[in-house]
Amino acid sequence: MPSYGRPLRKLGFLTIGLFDEADPRRGHEATLEMIQLGERLGFDSAWVRHRHLQFGISSPVAVLAAASQRTSRIELGTAVIPLGWENPLRVAEDLATVDLLSGGRLNPGVSVGPPLHFDQVRDALYPDTAEQEDFSYGRVERLLGFVTGEPATAFSGTEGFEVFSDRVQPHSPGLGDRMWYGAGGSRSARWAGEHRMNLLTSSVVKAEESGDFDEIQLSHIRAFRAAHPDGEQARVSQGLVVVPTDSASAGQREKYLEYARRRLPRTSSPQGPGRLLFAPDLVGSSEEIAERLCAHAAFREVDEVAFALPFAFAPEDYEQILTDIATLLAPALGRPSASAS
């Protein structure tokens, strides 16, 4: 067995929830079925990505509301909701509602910044207020305040036959402790720690001072924990792309390897003006992937993962990948296998 820093404690997976424009319901149903499979396989968490004006999940909170009624144990997360598209008070209402419906299983991950392609969508999204919108960390602070029960208005009491609250309703105690920030840079990692959030790291980082992915991600984790009141116990989840091939057919293996080959060039150097650096996809047997993960400096600092599933594969591919992760890769990383029910 490879040598790791921290035995794997929480096993999760992340999906983009792609769908065919001609049949979007089938794609959303496939995502819900995948989450149900994850629960049967013993995964601790299932996470969904957020895509606007694309053929992926645009309303993750709504999808997770449905998932909460089809599952009973698995935690449900968003990775991540870009708050530049959202009103923090309305998001707080939705998050609290779904958290209560799920029995306290929601793990909302968020990020800030202007919406993607803002110049193209600003007139549709903020036709009257685009110049006044605040896309800074203040947007997250507003959300955190509403989620934890800070006043949203100075008015409360009875007006006629109606009763009004001065804080967001419903209120879900404990949800504030399960708020995550998706950080790609050192500044955002420190900010998340200072604001007592949990940290989501992924297969993409900003190459601010180094060209080595492992080194950059490790620095973000350490900066986050140094700023967090919980220190080394502060929660961090890593989300690399892993594709075990143990039970894959010959055709599936070739498809997976070709997928990784096409994406490999972007891992050689920082991309674009944002200097984004991507981690290579990990394709191979569970034993091979475990060895590569345990050689990964940042992975040795975490005990929670939300392994990202590749885009655009078939449902049977995802079933094979998730099954191999749960039954073979996770035990190789120090987490006992959970039997499917």
Q: Which residues lie across from 282 on neighbouring strands?
A: 242
Confidence of residue 336 (pLDDT cuts 50, 70, 90): confident
Percentage with pLDDT > 70 across the chain: 97
Q: What is the pLDDT of residues 283-316, one digit of tens each?
A: 999 999 999 999 999 999 999 999 999 988 999 9
Beta-strand relationship, 282-284 and 242-244: parallel
pLDDT at 5 over 80: no
Mean pLDDT score, 132-144: 97
pLDDT of residue 209: 82
**Cα(182)–Cα(202) distance, rounded to whole angstroms?**
8
pLDDT of residue 2: 54
> Phi, psi at residue 76, to the nearest 5°?
-125, 125
Tokens for 162, please give them.
């109606």
Mean pLDDT score, 261-268: 95
Residues 6+ apart with CB under 8 A from 192: 181, 183, 198, 199, 224, 227, 228
pLDDT of residue 59: 97
Mean pLDDT score, 248-255: 98
pLDDT at 257 over 70: yes
Give Cα 319 distance to the centre of its chain.
Answer: 20
Q: What is the pLDDT of residues 190-216, one digit of tens each?
A: 999 999 999 999 999 999 988 999 999
Give Cα 126 distance to the centre of its chain.
Answer: 26
Confidence of residue 4 (pLDDT cuts 50, 70, 90): low
pLDDT at 341 over 80: no
Mean pLDDT score, 38-57: 97
Which single residue is written with the structure tokens 């803002």? 118
Residue 193 Ramachandran class (φ > 0 left, ψ -120 to 50 alpha, else beta)? alpha
Helices (H), the chain: 24-41, 60-68, 88-102, 118-125, 138-148, 186-194, 213-227, 250-263, 286-294, 315-324, 330-332
pLDDT of residue 233: 96
pLDDT of residue 3: 58
CB 28 within 8 A of CB 16: no
Beta-strand relationship, 282-284 and 162-164: unpaired
Angle of CA points 326, 213, 238, to nearest 5°: 30
Calculate the average pLDDT of the chain. 96
Q: Is 179 exposed, middle or buried (0-12, 13-18, 19+ CB in 10 A)?
A: buried
pLDDT of residue 340: 44
Give Cα 100 distance to the centre of its chain.
Answer: 20
**Cα(288)–Cα(76) distance, rounded to whole angstroms?**
29
Domains assigned to the chain = 10-153+164-332 (3.20.20.30)
**Cα(256)–Cα(260) distance, rounded to whole angstroms?**
6
**Cα(288)–Cα(251) distance, rounded to whole angstroms?**
19
pLDDT of residue 74: 98
pLDDT of residue 6: 78
Q: What is the pLDDT of residues 153-204, one digit of tens each?
A: 999 999 999 999 999 999 999 999 999 999 999 999 999 999 999 999 999 9
Mean pLDDT score, 50-63: 96
CB 325 within 8 A of CB 244: yes
Confidence of residue 87 (pLDDT cuts 50, 70, 90): very high
**Cα(166)–Cα(172) distance, rounded to whole angstroms?**
15
Nearest CA to 99 out of 156, 174, 14 is that of 174
